[in-house]
Amino acid sequence: DVKVTQSSRYLVKRTGEKVFLECVQDMDHENMFWYRQDPGLGLRLIYFSYDVKMKEKGDIPEGYSVSREKKERFSLILESASTNQTSMYLCASTDFLGTQYFGPGTRLLVL
Amino acid sequence: GIQVEQSPPDLILQEGANSTLRCNFSDSVNNLQWFHQNPWGQLINLFYIPSGTKQNGRLSATTVATERYSLLYISSSQTTDSGVYFCAVEQSGGGADGLTFGKGTHLIIQP
């Protein structure tokens, strides 16, 4: 079974803090993604990566950056957390067909 | 970008009932997936179905690509089927560009 893990299920941070969200997949997938999910807005793509050290902006990249130093790990970075970044963050990876597998999500609260 | 519309937005059924969820999309796609998000937030991939029909137990899905819609059927509903069902599409296929999600159908199965 494909396994995608995220470093935290719940996280509370203060405005202005630098926040790291980690995601690891164990199936040697090349493509990895970060989404955020908000009530009424659904899931929106923040950033994605199709290879090590490669990154592409999604629909809402402002305020975020990413890092992919190893194939299995994709990190989302909030350089200076703001209250409007309170959200559910979901990481995913895809197999060769494009079937997407999600991690359990991180609920981030920025105070 | 491509638009994905799901209907109905909310559905409340008794255990044992059957249901049909619909997904319309505004342009041709090479990748379409159905997901179930459980009450704990985990997104589970149900079907990868850019065209044709697939069945998995009590669930089945049909995508008519030429008419730009997909249907998810749930038969003999159980309380564990409750949650939000998402349709998501990708125009290019192969999973490299990320998915565009609909807003979801919130399904509640009452005992």
What pLDDT band is residue B92 in, cutting at 50, 70 and 90?
A: confident
Q: What is the per-residue pLDDT across A17-68, written as a single tens digit (0 to 9) for each?
A: 999 999 999 999 999 999 999 988 889 999 999 999 899 999 999 999 999 9
The pLDDT value recorded for residue A40 is 84
Could you give the CA distance from residue B23 to residue B21 in angstroms, rounded to a whole number? 7
> Per-residue pLDDT averaged across B78-107, rounded?
89
Residue in A with minimal Cα distance to B30: A98
Phi-psi region of B65 (alpha: psi -120 to 50; beta: other; left: phi over 0): alpha
Instruction: Work out how many domains chain A is built from and give that number.
Output: 1
Coil, helix or strand for A83? helix
Which of the four CATH numbers 3.30.200.20, 2.60.40.10, 3.30.365.10, 3.30.420.40 does domain B4-92+102-110 have? 2.60.40.10
Given CB atoms, is A43 within the 8 Å cutoff of chain B? yes
Token digits for A97?
Answer: 């067909």
The pLDDT value recorded for residue B95 is 66
Asked whether residue A11 carries a pLDDT value surpassing 70, the answer given is yes
The pLDDT value recorded for residue B93 is 67
Nearest beta carbon to residue B96 from set A31, A42, A92: A31
Given CB atoms, is B39 within the 8 Å cutoff of chain A? no
Strand duo A106-110 + A10-13: pairing? parallel
Coil, helix or strand for A95? coil
Say if CB B4 and CB B87 are below 8 A apart: yes
Q: What is the per-residue pLDDT across B17-35, written as a single tens digit (0 to 9) for each?
A: 999 999 999 999 989 999 9
Question: Domain holding A11: CATH number?
Answer: 2.60.40.10
Given CB atoms, is A50 within the 8 Å cutoff of chain B? yes
Q: What is the overall mean pLDDT for chain B?
A: 94
Say if CB A93 and CB A2 are below 8 A apart: yes
Given CB atoms, is B45 within the 8 Å cutoff of chain A? yes
Could you give the CA distance from residue B84 to residue A99 in angstroms, rounded to a whole number? 19
The pLDDT value recorded for residue A107 is 96
Q: Judge: B48–A99 Cβ closer than 8 Å, yes or no.
A: yes
Given CB atoms, is A62 within the 8 Å cutoff of chain B? no
Residue from A49, A100, A106 whose CB has the most chain B CBs within 10 Å, to mutate: A100
Could you give the CA distance from residue B52 to residue B71 in angstroms, rounded to a whole number? 11
The pLDDT value recorded for residue B94 is 67
Residue B101's CB is within 10 A of a number of other CB atoms, namely 22
Structural domain that includes position A101: 4-110
Given CB atoms, is A22 within the 8 Å cutoff of chain B? no
Phi-psi region of B68 (alpha: psi -120 to 50; beta: other; left: phi over 0): left
Q: Judge: A94–B40 Cβ closer than 8 Å, yes or no.
A: no
Lowest mean pLDDT among A85-99, B27-41, B81-95: B81-95
Report DSSP state, residue B16: T
